[in-house]
Amino acid sequence: MLGFFLYGLGINLTINARLGLSPWGVFHQGLSFHFGITMGTAVSIAGTAILIIDYFLKERIGWGTISNVFLIGTFIDVVERANFIPFPENIVLRFLMMILGMAIISLATFLYMSAQLGSGPRDGMMVAFTKLTNKPVGLIRSSIEIAVLIIGYLLGGTVGWGTLIMSLGFGFFIQTTFKIFKFDVKEVVHRYVDQDIAFLFHKLKK
């Protein structure tokens, strides 16, 4: 839950920096424009669609995965409505706010993935491609971010210099955070929904 909240906080920091939205932010904003919904709702809708993709990539679903779909979007809207994050005018402060947002999102990713209750839908896709290609997680993350950015731009999302920095930098931040905490996504053993359902049925049979 702390990871989900920090993710929403980090997203709002990058938005209020006003240097361009993150790649996923560009995509979610494009969805919000087309459907007349909040950014948080767009995040949840996109998360549901990606969850389906993860299923076909053979990434199993945990309670944390399902919670991610609904709670990160909710926290994004909650933090935005709380209106406690400033809108600095100084370009240096705006840049530092964006960097801080990226760092917080990377920490948030580590926190909820290390809970071992299933990856978030977007991170599940990252993990699936990391396992599939055996490439560094940073490279996979950056590749996904760039692809999403292109789609988001075509949907009308806002792009700026900060978008380019985040497209190339998120993979580095994620990989660095994982190294600091000695966290290897290939070795994570999550607990999944189907395991809990099977356990419940086993107990009921007794």
Spatial distance between the Cα atoms of 152 and 75, rounded to a whole number of angstroms:
21
Q: Would you state the pLDDT for residue 86?
A: 92
Alpha carbon 205 to chain centroid, angstroms: 39
Residue 104 pLDDT > 90: yes
Q: Where are the domains of the chain?
A: 2-205
pTM of the model: 0.81
Q: Would you state the pLDDT for residue 100?
A: 95
